[in-house]
Amino acid sequence: MKKMCLAISLSCLFFVAAAQEKTNHTPKWISNTGYWVVESNIKTPETSIVYFYNNNQVLVYKENLDGVRLQLNKRKIKMRLKKVLEQAVYAYEQKKFIPENEKWLLLAIKK
């Protein structure tokens, strides 16, 4: 009887662990190279500053957006932010100087 209870409890633990493993996935718009932060104001929603950082918390690129309202709840916008982030981190790693406000993000959003 004890062996039966032990086998049942171990199998339950296995299924619970397998279920948790399936639910812990990373969204596609999350980059492995760094992260981005959007700074905006409620009073001026069409003005934002987007900061792009690598995984070492080093600012690699900054862009001011005027006249554009970022809809951060849309997957398409998040994927474009990821693309610009990866371009900026790659350029930073190659020791290429990136001038601030190069309009990479603005061009990516307008597509």
Mean model confidence pLDDT for the chain: 79
Identify whether 23 is part of a domain: no
Task: Quote the DSSP letter at residue 24.
Answer: -
Identify whether 3 is part of a domain: no
Is the pLDDT at 7 greater than 70? The verdict is no
H-run or E-run covering 52: strand 47-54
Q: How many domains does the chain have?
A: 1
Q: What is the pLDDT of residue 18?
A: 53
Identify whether 79 is part of a domain: yes
Please state, in angstroms and as integers, the Cα–Cα distance from residue 74 to each residue in 4, 11, 44, 53, 89, following that order. Answer: 50, 40, 20, 21, 23
Residue 29 CA to residue 77 CA, distance in Å, equals: 9
Identify whether 1 is part of a domain: no
What tens digit of pLDDT does each residue of 22-75 get?
Answer: 567 888 989 999 999 999 988 988 899 999 999 999 999 999 988 888 889 999
Segment 4-18 shows an average pLDDT of 48
Identify whether 40 is part of a domain: yes
Q: What is the pLDDT of residue 34?
A: 95
Only one residue has tokens 């990516």, namely 108
Identify whether 11 is part of a domain: no
What residue spans of 1-111 are helical by DSSP H?
A: 2-23, 75-93, 104-110
What tens digit of pLDDT does each residue of 76-103 get?
Answer: 999 999 999 999 999 999 888 777 767 7
**CA diameter of the chain:** 72
Domain range for 51 is 34-110
Identify whether 14 is part of a domain: no
* pTM, full prediction: 0.71
Identify whether 29 is part of a domain: no
